Structure 1
Amino acid sequence: MSKLEIDTDYLAAQLKALLAIDSPTGFTDTIVRHCTRELERLGMSVELTRRGAIRAVRQGSRRSGARAIITHLDTLGAQVKMVKDNGRLELVPIGHWSSRFAEGARANIYSYNATHRGSILPLKASGHTFNEGVDEQPVDWRQVELRIDARTTSKDETLALGIDIGDIVAIDPDTEFMDNGFIVSRHLDDKAGVAASLAALEAMEREKVRTPVDIHWLFTIAEEVGVGATAIVAPEVASMVAIDNGTSAPGQNSSEFGVTIAMADQTGPFDYHLTKKLIELCGDNEIPMQRDIFRFYRSDSASAVEAGHDVRTALVAFGVDASHGYERIHLHALESIAQLVTAYVTSPVDIKRDLEEISTMKGFTKQPSASHDGE
């Protein structure tokens, strides 16, 4: 089946709502509730793991050989490493991101009994005091501190506020949707992917399309720390397509327009046959597409395979400028990805052997083979 029309107004509204919810890894209950409500509104029955990863199964013509579309709800953030003698907070990052992008950020501090506001500042924050020292200090998480917007100048006063080691720090997204389609915000990784996934599902429900196999819509909560899909992939899933960010940067081929299909990441090549199918679907449906390889990157697909799930994996990406920083994307990429997802989940199952977890050589896949001289 060909691609479906995507309601971009719905997609943008979902992204705005997701970005308004703090959800650093380890602090995802609120966004799980939000996403669950939306899935139920779309008519899905939702299952949650103990910690809150989401599985919503849209029934197809058969259960075995199911396909999965996976995104993650968690984002980067920080935790309180130490309450300092001056009342400010030393931080450690949640996920992998540079303190360079934390400097100047506004943030929520979630203690067990209250929420406080604050700013992340370099240790030498005043040019009037430190002069050139402001520009000469190193870039490192030990070189920043969180200034709390409360009356505190000592460790005891901060502890009296209820703030202590381990408290979660959520970074403000500072979101801007522009009239020309560009979207600038922190945490587009991977809330933009979640919005694209929901938009694809909304289109399928609106058009009441049927699929050859069940489709598992998966939303994980710990991708940024490398363990997102370890406990959410059901045994009947044969193939899984992750939606995540691609890096639009010098030396990369990702784009903020169209679909970026990842051929490999730091864990190695993605599945040959599934990736080839996605590329062909882009061509057949006139969806703009480019390929890329990511050296310093992994997604939910890696954690699924490492956990022992024998599934074919692929990654489709929306190009992000300044990933894990002040990120920028374009709505065109999200629409293109949602279109590709609808084309993929409604397409015929090419590898019939995948309907079984274990089988014989009969029907096993073939890859091109060059002839060689000698034995």
Structure 2
Amino acid sequence: MNEAALPRVALPEIDYAYLEETLLQLLAIPSPVGLTDGAVRYAAGRLEALEIPYEMTRRGAIRATLRGREAQPARAIVAHLDTLGAMVRELKPNGRLAIVPIGHWSARFAEGFRLTIFTDHGQVRGTCLPLKTSGHAFGPEIDSQPVGWEHVEVRVDLPVSSRAELEAAGIHVGDWIAFDPLPEIQPDGYINSRYLDDKAAVAALLTACKAVRDHRLPLPVDVHPLLTITEEVGSGASAALHGEIAEMVSLDISIAAPGQNTSEHAATICVQDMSGPFDYHLTHKLIGLAQEHGIAHRRDVFRYYRSDSAAAVEAGNDIRTALIGFGADASHAQERTHREALVALTQLVIAYMTSAPVARRDCRSMGSLEGFTEQLRPQDMVLPSTPLPAPEEFLDSELPSCRTASGHGT
């Protein structure tokens, strides 16, 4: 398959109202790692409404399928449904709760926030507070106390003042806690909320799937939208992949901060995170697609960041990986992005879905040197001003076809 022989697909207008509705509904469903069934059921319902078939793992990761002209080399596009949260660590003698975080985030951003405790038989509301809260009681000590999970506690909205009363109310060590997202959408396009990581990317992925369905966009190869449930604790896309998938693009929050190149008004193409560089060819393909379609984008490198892509590779999958995201401020805190970043991310996902794979040879996991990709050719090093070859130059239409039992083929 040669990309030059494929008709160029003009990007359609996305259904932004659908994206925003999906985001708000997802944010209303608590889904800290380990308590994700509700979000999984919602996402499955969204896929069913789009008539997109899907399968689920035992624990709830979702792998959907959009059929292309050929089955291989297939691609996956992954976002995660799970969020940060907390868990009850101790029932304290004063009738309050000591907690530990689920995922990696600072207690600084838990202080003062409302939350829900999920007991074995119901839900209880509460507030996360520093150990010394009232200035009328502690004076300047409220400003000098340390920050940390051992320095906060949950005040439960029940008439309890002892461990025994907490137990009688049905609260136990190990109960899950979800903090309120507090979403707010401004008329000028700014979106504030907890858990935009990664529910905004899930909404963008589902909106891209809707565009493919609504506009009957042709797909060169099978695309597998993948929704994971344990990314915030590191295992993410270690499950739900299979051997036909040769490329995987992760969708996640991107960090706009001093020293970073990300913008809240654009998509970000990450070249490297703490797990190392992403695939050269897949990354440059995404850059080329953004340039070709005029999609607002930035390149960036993240030093304290990992995604579903790392989990997939560490699980032993031999796949090309890349990371793209929506620019946002204050990740793992009270996050903020802009409508323009979500639109740009959705457009880039559609452009990727409708483009040819990086290399024809990737339809097989092992092969000879024939058709293997090339990064720096001698002429490129002699003439550094010469542009790098476009991704389509790496495709070899003379390689054997990759037919499968499903009936796909060249």
TM category, shorter:
over 0.9
For 2:290, the equivalent position in structure 1 comes to: 282
| Per-residue Cα deviation, 1:140-189 (whole angstroms, up to 9, x for no partner) | 00000000000100000001111110100001001101111000000000
The amino acid of 1:222's aligned partner reads: T
- Contact 1:107 1:172 survives alignment (8 Å): yes
Deviation at 1:234, TM superposition (A): 1.5
Q: Matched residues in 2 for 1:13 and 1:259: separation?
A: 20
The amino acid of 2:247's aligned partner reads: S
> Is 2:250 aligned against 1:245?
no
Sequence identity (%) = 52
Deviation at 1:350, TM superposition (A): 3.9
- Contact 1:3 1:340 survives alignment (8 Å): no
Q: Matched residues in 2 for 1:348 and 1:156: separation?
A: 63
For 2:87, the equivalent position in structure 1 comes to: 79
- Structure 1 runs of 4+ off > 3 angstroms? 369-372
Length-normalised TM-score, structure 1: 0.98
> Is 2:318 aligned against 1:310?
yes
- Contact 2:52 2:66 survives alignment (8 Å): yes
- Contact 2:130 2:151 survives alignment (8 Å): yes
The amino acid of 1:28's aligned partner reads: T
| Per-residue Cα deviation, 1:343-362 (whole angstroms, up to 9, x for no partner) | 11111234110111111110
Match of 2:58 among 50, 59, 63: 50
- Contact 1:81 1:166 survives alignment (8 Å): yes
For 1:115, the equivalent position in structure 2 comes to: 123
Question: Does the residue aligned with 2:369 lie in a helix, a strand or coil?
Answer: coil
Q: Structure 1, unaligned stretches of length 5 or more?
A: none
Q: Matched residues in 1 for 2:225 and 2:151: separation?
A: 41
Q: Matched residues in 2 for 1:282 and 1:153: separation?
A: 58
Question: Does the residue aligned with 2:326 lie in a helix, a strand or coil?
Answer: strand
For 1:165, the equivalent position in structure 2 comes to: 173
| Per-residue Cα deviation, 1:268-299 (whole angstroms, up to 9, x for no partner) | 00000000000000010000111110000000
Deviation at 1:369, TM superposition (A): 4.5
Q: Matched residues in 2 for 1:272 and 1:5: separation?
A: 29
Deviation at 1:46, TM superposition (A): 1.6
For 2:340, the equivalent position in structure 1 comes to: 332
Q: Matched residues in 1 for 2:358 and 2:44: separation?
A: 32
For 1:222, the equivalent position in structure 2 comes to: 230
The amino acid of 1:245's aligned partner reads: I
Q: Structure 2, unaligned stretches of length 5 or more?
A: 1-8, 383-410
For 1:207, the equivalent position in structure 2 comes to: 215
Q: Matched residues in 2 for 1:160 and 1:19: separation?
A: 31
Deviation at 1:251, TM superposition (A): 1.0
- Contact 1:4 1:343 survives alignment (8 Å): no
Question: Does the residue aligned with 2:336 lie in a helix, a strand or coil?
Answer: strand
Aligned residues: 372
> Is 2:95 aligned against 1:96?
no
- Contact 2:40 2:81 survives alignment (8 Å): yes
The amino acid of 1:57's aligned partner reads: T
Alignment RMSD (CA, Å)? 1.0
> Is 2:202 aligned against 1:194?
yes
- Contact 2:245 2:319 survives alignment (8 Å): yes
Q: Matched residues in 2 for 1:320 and 1:345: separation?
A: 24
| Per-residue Cα deviation, 1:30-78 (whole angstroms, up to 9, x for no partner) | 0100000000100111211000000101111111210111000000000
- Contact 2:281 2:358 survives alignment (8 Å): no
For 1:135, the equivalent position in structure 2 comes to: 143
For 1:344, the equivalent position in structure 2 comes to: 352
The amino acid of 1:180's aligned partner reads: D
> Is 2:69 aligned against 1:61?
yes
